[in-house]
Homo-oligomer: A and B are copies of this chain.
Amino acid sequence: MSETSYAQLHPAERILMGPGPSTVPNRVLNAMAAPTLGHLDPEYLKIMDETRALLRTVFRTENEMTLAVSGTGSAGMEACVVNLVEPGDDAIVCINGVFGTRMKDVMERAGATVHAIEIPWGESFSAEQIGEALDANPNAKVLGIVHAETSTGAHTPIDAIAPVVHEHGALLLVDAVTSLGGMDLRIDDWGIDACYSGTQKCLSCPPGLSPVTFSPKALEKMDARQSKVQSWYLDMSMLRNYWGSDRVYHHTAPINMTYALREALMIVVEEGLDARIERHRENHDRLRAGLEKLGLKYIPEQSLTTLNAIHAPDGVNEADGRKWLLENYSLEIGAGLGPFAGRAWRIGLMGHACSRRNVDLILAALEELLNG
């Protein structure tokens, strides 16, 4: 058969400075390649427990219901939505990019009556805007918002928004895909009721799992559901029994991915969350200064430190520029999306890829590209 002639797998060793995945350290890749255990093996159950404890540390939460959903970040989004929302529930979704747009779609598919508030892509929501939306929709049971909008680099101040949501009696659902492990994110201190992330951003683990956490108030709403969760695969009432002390078989967990996530989380904890967040800030500042020196301009006023979205320079085709970086430096950056398609670059500084070495390299490469 012709398929037998496929070449041996030798992927290029990219420097991944796009919107994710970020470069994965060898230590994590090696952990992932450890021998596969059965999903009910006592050794694996211990690894699950350790992974949950590490996730709680990195989420800064005491939430019992903290685990990794067996899918990528979008599966985590869907898991949060379909468990929190019942058909007919009023929900507010805040849209300032791709992921707010996606959350609205997921909410509607779950049967919610969605009240979307939209601001231009690249801008961030203020507590006032959120308060107005809640005043206008007093029946809203859930408000969904993106902490770190990967599509534009916009950073929304969840700490200021959370109290407003709670004053109005709604639950707060937060997308932290591009902030967990790289930017300040405090589930308990800020009062986030449900949060999902991905493994392939600031945790620098391959994609394939989605860390999620639910507050006791979120669990109360889930326990009071009148209808079954529409997704069997993502039904937290069953996942609780597998990840919890009962160990009831639900589905076969992605065992080797759990090894990788555990290792990636250990690296975060060894560095220390505060030091890690500070490292992301320092490298962002260094990159920003260099980019501005090259005449490049940020899109968002309130930028994430982990993702830097800039207007593509005049006179350079943005796709050609990315291709040039990939071919000459084996360095990946991301394209713009939506209104910024063809007009922006997204430079990630996430986890293992967020280093002074990479900042200086990309600045040197961009200078070469722009000024020859």
Contacts and interface: CB of A to CB of B under 8 A. Distances in A.
A53 B3 contact: yes
A208 B251 contact: no
B24 A105 contact: no
Contacts of A36: 11, 14, 16, 21, 23-24, 29, 200, 206
A252 interface: yes
A6 to B, nearest CB: 5
B252 A4 contact: no
A257 B255 CA distance: 11
Contact of A71 (B12, B24, B44, B70): B70
A340 interface: no
Contact of A75 (B23, B228, B233, B269): B233
Interface string A95-138: 00000001001101110000000000000000000000000000
A232 B71 contact: no
A181 interface: no
B74 A263 contact: no
B24 A9 contact: no
| A9, A75, A229: residue with the most chain B Cβ atoms closer than 10 Å | A9
A59 interface: no
A53 B10 CA distance: 19
| A13, A106, A257, A332: residue with the most chain B Cβ atoms closer than 10 Å | A257
Given A109-B230, A208-B254, A254-B208, A262 B70 contact: no
Nearest to A177: B252
A175 interface: no
A255 B53 contact: no
| A9, A38, A233: residue with the most chain B Cβ atoms closer than 10 Å | A233
Given A37-B12, A254-B257, A78 B232 contact: yes
B34 A14 contact: no
Nearest to A108: B228
Contacts of A153: none
Given A9-B31, A200-B252, 19 more contacts: A3-B50, A6-B54, A6-B266, A9-B34, A9-B262, A11-B34, A11-B43, A12-B37, A14-B41, A20-B252, A21-B38, A36-B200, A70-B208, A75-B251, A109-B232, A206-B254, A207-B252, A208-B254, A249-B337
